Amino acid sequence: MQNLKSPIRKEKIDARRKLHADDWQRLSAQVVEHMKSLLKTSASPVAIYYPVHGEVDVLPLMQYADTCLPVMQANSKELVFRKTSPGQHLEKNIHGIMQPVESAPPCEPGVIIVPVVAFDRRRFRIGYGGGYYDTTLAFLRKKKKITVIGAAFSFQEVPSIPVEPFDAKLDMIITEKEVIKPA
Protein backbone atom coordinates (compact mmCIF):
# COMPACT_ATOMS: atom_id res chain seq x y z
CA MET A 1 0.00 0.00 0.00
CA GLN A 2 2.91 2.38 0.71
CA ASN A 3 3.87 1.90 -2.95
CA LEU A 4 0.50 3.42 -3.90
CA LYS A 5 0.91 6.32 -1.48
CA SER A 6 4.53 7.20 -2.36
CA PRO A 7 3.88 8.82 -5.77
CA ILE A 8 0.97 10.82 -4.32
CA ARG A 9 3.16 11.92 -1.42
CA LYS A 10 5.97 13.02 -3.74
CA GLU A 11 3.65 14.90 -6.10
CA LYS A 12 1.90 16.84 -3.33
CA ILE A 13 5.06 17.68 -1.38
CA ASP A 14 6.64 18.95 -4.61
CA ALA A 15 3.54 21.05 -5.34
CA ARG A 16 3.64 22.54 -1.85
CA ARG A 17 7.33 23.38 -2.14
CA LYS A 18 6.69 25.24 -5.42
CA LEU A 19 4.45 27.76 -3.67
CA HIS A 20 5.96 31.22 -3.56
CA ALA A 21 6.52 32.37 0.05
CA ASP A 22 3.90 35.13 -0.29
CA ASP A 23 1.30 32.66 -1.59
CA TRP A 24 2.16 30.20 1.19
CA GLN A 25 1.61 32.88 3.83
CA ARG A 26 -1.62 34.12 2.24
CA LEU A 27 -3.12 30.63 1.84
CA SER A 28 -2.02 29.60 5.34
CA ALA A 29 -3.67 32.72 6.77
CA GLN A 30 -6.92 31.82 4.98
CA VAL A 31 -6.85 28.29 6.47
CA VAL A 32 -6.20 29.72 9.93
CA GLU A 33 -9.08 32.18 9.50
CA HIS A 34 -11.48 29.26 8.89
CA MET A 35 -10.07 27.47 11.93
CA LYS A 36 -10.38 30.43 14.28
CA SER A 37 -14.16 30.45 14.11
CA LEU A 38 -14.34 26.72 14.84
CA LEU A 39 -11.91 26.93 17.75
CA LYS A 40 -13.81 29.72 19.51
CA THR A 41 -16.19 27.07 20.82
CA SER A 42 -13.43 24.77 22.10
CA ALA A 43 -12.78 24.99 25.82
CA SER A 44 -10.06 22.34 25.74
CA PRO A 45 -6.48 22.78 24.54
CA VAL A 46 -5.77 22.62 20.81
CA ALA A 47 -2.83 20.61 19.51
CA ILE A 48 -1.17 22.27 16.55
CA TYR A 49 2.04 21.30 14.75
CA TYR A 50 5.25 23.03 13.77
CA PRO A 51 5.11 23.37 9.96
CA VAL A 52 7.85 21.85 7.77
CA HIS A 53 8.21 21.28 4.02
CA GLY A 54 5.60 23.91 3.10
CA GLU A 55 2.83 22.63 5.39
CA VAL A 56 0.04 25.04 6.28
CA ASP A 57 1.37 27.38 8.95
CA VAL A 58 -1.00 26.96 11.90
CA LEU A 59 1.32 28.57 14.47
CA PRO A 60 -0.74 31.82 14.48
CA LEU A 61 -3.47 29.85 16.27
CA MET A 62 -1.37 30.28 19.43
CA GLN A 63 -2.83 33.78 19.61
CA TYR A 64 -6.42 32.48 19.71
CA ALA A 65 -6.38 29.25 21.70
CA ASP A 66 -4.67 27.35 24.50
CA THR A 67 -2.21 25.34 22.41
CA CYS A 68 0.23 22.48 22.60
CA LEU A 69 2.66 20.83 20.20
CA PRO A 70 3.43 17.14 19.65
CA VAL A 71 6.58 15.67 21.13
CA MET A 72 8.21 12.49 19.84
CA GLN A 73 9.12 9.90 22.45
CA ALA A 74 12.12 7.62 22.17
CA ASN A 75 11.26 4.17 20.77
CA SER A 76 7.55 4.99 20.35
CA LYS A 77 5.20 5.95 17.53
CA GLU A 78 2.87 7.58 20.03
CA LEU A 79 3.19 11.34 20.31
CA VAL A 80 2.64 13.20 23.56
CA PHE A 81 1.66 16.84 23.74
CA ARG A 82 3.21 19.69 25.70
CA LYS A 83 1.91 23.23 26.18
CA THR A 84 3.31 25.89 23.92
CA SER A 85 3.07 29.64 23.54
CA PRO A 86 4.63 32.33 21.35
CA GLY A 87 8.32 32.79 22.11
CA GLN A 88 8.64 29.53 24.05
CA HIS A 89 11.97 27.70 23.76
CA LEU A 90 11.72 24.73 21.37
CA GLU A 91 14.20 22.04 20.33
CA LYS A 92 14.55 19.83 17.25
CA ASN A 93 13.40 16.23 17.40
CA ILE A 94 15.11 13.38 15.52
CA HIS A 95 13.34 14.43 12.30
CA GLY A 96 14.42 18.05 12.66
CA ILE A 97 10.95 19.27 13.62
CA MET A 98 10.70 21.80 16.42
CA GLN A 99 8.97 20.63 19.60
CA PRO A 100 8.65 21.81 23.21
CA VAL A 101 11.43 20.90 25.62
CA GLU A 102 10.75 18.07 28.05
CA SER A 103 10.22 20.51 30.94
CA ALA A 104 7.18 22.07 29.20
CA PRO A 105 3.92 21.11 30.97
CA PRO A 106 1.99 18.16 29.52
CA CYS A 107 -1.24 18.85 27.68
CA GLU A 108 -4.34 16.76 26.89
CA PRO A 109 -5.87 18.30 23.77
CA GLY A 110 -9.52 17.97 22.85
CA VAL A 111 -8.83 19.22 19.33
CA ILE A 112 -5.87 18.03 17.28
CA ILE A 113 -4.87 19.77 14.08
CA VAL A 114 -2.77 17.49 11.90
CA PRO A 115 -0.60 18.24 8.89
CA VAL A 116 -1.67 16.81 5.56
CA VAL A 117 0.35 15.85 2.50
CA ALA A 118 -2.72 14.73 0.50
CA PHE A 119 -6.41 14.19 1.30
CA ASP A 120 -9.67 13.01 -0.22
CA ARG A 121 -13.33 13.92 0.31
CA ARG A 122 -13.81 10.91 2.61
CA ARG A 123 -11.46 12.77 5.02
CA PHE A 124 -8.54 10.37 4.77
CA ARG A 125 -5.05 11.80 4.60
CA ILE A 126 -1.55 10.86 3.61
CA GLY A 127 1.21 12.09 5.87
CA TYR A 128 4.90 11.35 5.64
CA GLY A 129 4.45 7.62 6.22
CA GLY A 130 5.82 7.31 9.76
CA GLY A 131 2.46 6.46 11.35
CA TYR A 132 2.93 8.81 14.31
CA TYR A 133 -0.43 10.55 14.02
CA ASP A 134 -2.37 7.37 13.15
CA THR A 135 -0.91 5.63 16.21
CA THR A 136 -1.51 8.61 18.48
CA LEU A 137 -5.07 9.22 17.29
CA ALA A 138 -6.02 5.55 17.74
CA PHE A 139 -4.70 5.66 21.31
CA LEU A 140 -6.38 8.97 22.20
CA ARG A 141 -9.73 8.04 20.65
CA LYS A 142 -9.89 5.03 22.98
CA LYS A 143 -9.43 7.35 25.97
CA LYS A 144 -11.78 10.23 25.15
CA LYS A 145 -13.67 12.13 22.47
CA ILE A 146 -11.33 14.26 20.39
CA THR A 147 -11.86 16.30 17.24
CA VAL A 148 -9.21 15.80 14.57
CA ILE A 149 -8.83 18.46 11.89
CA GLY A 150 -6.58 18.25 8.87
CA ALA A 151 -4.95 21.47 7.67
CA ALA A 152 -4.30 21.51 3.92
CA PHE A 153 -4.21 23.60 0.80
CA SER A 154 -6.98 22.83 -1.70
CA PHE A 155 -4.46 21.68 -4.34
CA GLN A 156 -3.50 18.78 -2.04
CA GLU A 157 -6.83 17.06 -2.71
CA VAL A 158 -6.81 13.79 -4.67
CA PRO A 159 -9.77 11.70 -5.88
CA SER A 160 -9.06 8.84 -3.47
CA ILE A 161 -6.48 7.98 -0.81
CA PRO A 162 -5.42 4.32 -0.66
CA VAL A 163 -6.59 3.37 2.84
CA GLU A 164 -4.97 0.86 5.17
CA PRO A 165 -6.70 -0.57 8.27
CA PHE A 166 -4.71 1.65 10.66
CA ASP A 167 -5.33 4.92 8.76
CA ALA A 168 -7.23 7.40 10.92
CA LYS A 169 -10.18 9.19 9.36
CA LEU A 170 -10.28 12.90 10.16
CA ASP A 171 -13.35 14.65 11.54
CA MET A 172 -12.84 17.49 9.09
CA ILE A 173 -10.34 19.00 6.72
CA ILE A 174 -9.92 22.74 6.41
CA THR A 175 -8.43 24.37 3.32
CA GLU A 176 -8.22 27.99 2.27
CA LYS A 177 -11.47 27.44 0.31
CA GLU A 178 -13.67 25.28 2.51
CA VAL A 179 -14.36 23.11 5.52
CA ILE A 180 -14.85 19.46 4.51
CA LYS A 181 -16.88 17.54 7.07
CA PRO A 182 -19.53 14.82 7.21
CA ALA A 183 -22.79 15.74 5.47
Write out the chain's pLDDT in tens, 183 residues. Answer: 558 899 999 999 999 999 999 999 999 999 999 999 888 766 789 999 999 999 999 999 999 889 999 999 888 889 999 999 888 889 999 888 999 998 999 999 999 999 999 999 999 999 988 889 999 999 999 999 999 999 999 999 999 999 988 899 999 999 999 999 987
Q: Which of 107, 114, 109, 108 is nearest to 171 (CA)?
A: 114
Q: What is the pLDDT of residue 75?
A: 84
Q: Domain spans of the chain?
A: 2-180
What b-and-e string marks burial along 29-46, b requiring 16 or more CB atoms within 10 Å of the CB?
ebbbebbeebbeeeebbb
What is the chain's Cα-based Rg?
Answer: 15
In the CATH hierarchy, which fold is given to the domain comprising 2-180?
Rossmann fold (3.40.50)
Torsion of Cα atoms, 113 then 85 then 82 then 94, to 10°: 80
Q: What is the pLDDT of residue 41?
A: 67
Q: What is the pLDDT of residue 101?
A: 92
Q: Which of 71, 87, 88 is nearest to 79 (CA)?
A: 71
Kindly give the residue spans of alpha helices, DSSP state H, lying in 40-160: 132-143
